[in-house]
């Protein structure tokens, strides 16, 4: 839990943020959801996130790392370390109280560029704010801003690895916000000084910036 006092108001207030960890739909997790699927419970995913919902819903902002693409492609490749989640999982996250997800992680490209683009469509359709991937290079580095109790909060996400993948050559193709390790400079991410400029620019537009990597 992170509390931020707002001293410029008539009475001091505070903003409560809850940061969860990785949301990863391993096969066993999908099996649990399937086993508890009922009408109206988002294919069982409400059951999966149920134990966290009280904490997430009572916070002003709940944030998790969405460590998976989201597609309704039934032929999507799923392996031990190649993930995919159904749109119902996104709807269950919203129902559990999550308001922001980080998509800038090493599994963002597990379902290739098409899966990245589809993931963003599902997130937007569910009203779930996201940062870390985008339909263009610049969009991938766009922060999320939101007003909470008179305070402007910002969220920015990036990753250091794409599990062997690279960002496209074309700037107008789907990208992951990538700050690669020096030995992976060919993966088409930003240099440290470029990433730092993005962070500074985002910080200048809000009262508190949360950088997730």
Query: Which tens digits make up the pLDDT trace of 200-211?
Result: 999 999 999 999
Q: What is the pLDDT of residue 76?
A: 75
Measured distance CA(172)–CA(170) in Å, rounded: 5
Q: Given pLDDT bands bounded at 50, 70 and 90, which one contains residue 13?
A: low
Q: What is the mean pLDDT of residues 63-79?
A: 87
**For residue 144, what are the β-bridge partners?**
155
Parallel, antiparallel or unpaired: strands 129-131 and 100-102: parallel
Lowest mean pLDDT among 69-73, 97-101, 200-204: 69-73
User: Could you write out the DSSP letters of every residue in 1-20?
Assistant: -EEEEETTSSS-EEEEEEEE
Residue 192 neighbours by CB under 8 Å, 6+ apart: 179
Measured distance CA(32)–CA(117) in Å, rounded: 27
Q: What is the mean pLDDT of residues 86-96?
A: 98
pLDDT tens track for 113-163: 999 999 999 999 999 999 999 999 999 999 999 999 999 999 999 999 999
Total count of residues recorded for the chain:
213
**Residue 46 pLDDT > 80, yes or no?**
yes
Q: Given pLDDT bands bounded at 50, 70 and 90, which one contains residue 10?
A: low
Q: What is the DSSP letter of 142?
A: P
Q: Model pTM? A: 0.91
Please give the structure tokens belonging to residue 157: 């996400």
Q: What is the mean pLDDT of residues 83-93?
A: 97
Contacts of the segment 164-172: beta carbons below 8 A, 24+ positions apart: 165/109, 167/137, 168/113, 171/136, 171/137, 171/138, 172/135, 172/136, 172/137
Please give the structure tokens belonging to residue 52: 């966290």
Measured distance CA(64)–CA(50) in Å, rounded: 15
Residue 51 neighbours by CB under 8 Å, 6+ apart: none
Q: Is the dihedral of CA 21, 26, 30, 36 positive or negative?
A: negative
**Residue 2 pLDDT > 50, yes or no?**
no
**Residue 5 pLDDT > 60, yes or no?**
no
Q: Given pLDDT bands bounded at 50, 70 and 90, which one contains residue 75?
A: confident
């Amino acid at each position: 839990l992170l509390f931020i006092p707002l001293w410029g108001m008539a009475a001091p207030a505070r903003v409560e943020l809850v940061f969860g960890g990785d949301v990863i739909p391993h096969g066993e997790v999908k099996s649990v959801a399937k086993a508890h699927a009922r009408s109206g419970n988002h294919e069982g995913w409400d059951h999966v996130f149920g134990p966290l919902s009280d904490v997430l819903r009572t916070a002003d902002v709940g944030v998790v790392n969405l460590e998976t693409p989201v597609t309704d492609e039934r032929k999507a490749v799923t392996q031990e370390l190649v993930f995919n989640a159904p749109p119902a999982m996104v709807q269950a996250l919203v129902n559990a109280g999550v308001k922001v997800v980080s998509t800038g992680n090493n599994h963002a490209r597990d379902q290739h560029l098409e899966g990245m683009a589809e993931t963003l469509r599902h997130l937007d359709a569910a009203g779930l704010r996201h940062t870390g991937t985008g339909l263009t290079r610049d969009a991938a580095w766009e922060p999320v801003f939101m007003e909470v109790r008179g305070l402007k909060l910002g969220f920015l996400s990036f990753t250091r690895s794409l599990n062997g993948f690279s960002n496209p050559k074309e700037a107008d193709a789907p990208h992951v916000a990538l700050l690669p390790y020096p030995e992976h400079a060919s993966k088409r991410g930003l240099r440290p000084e470029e990433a730092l400029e993005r962070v500074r620019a985002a910080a200048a537009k809000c009262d508190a910036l949360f950088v997730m990597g």
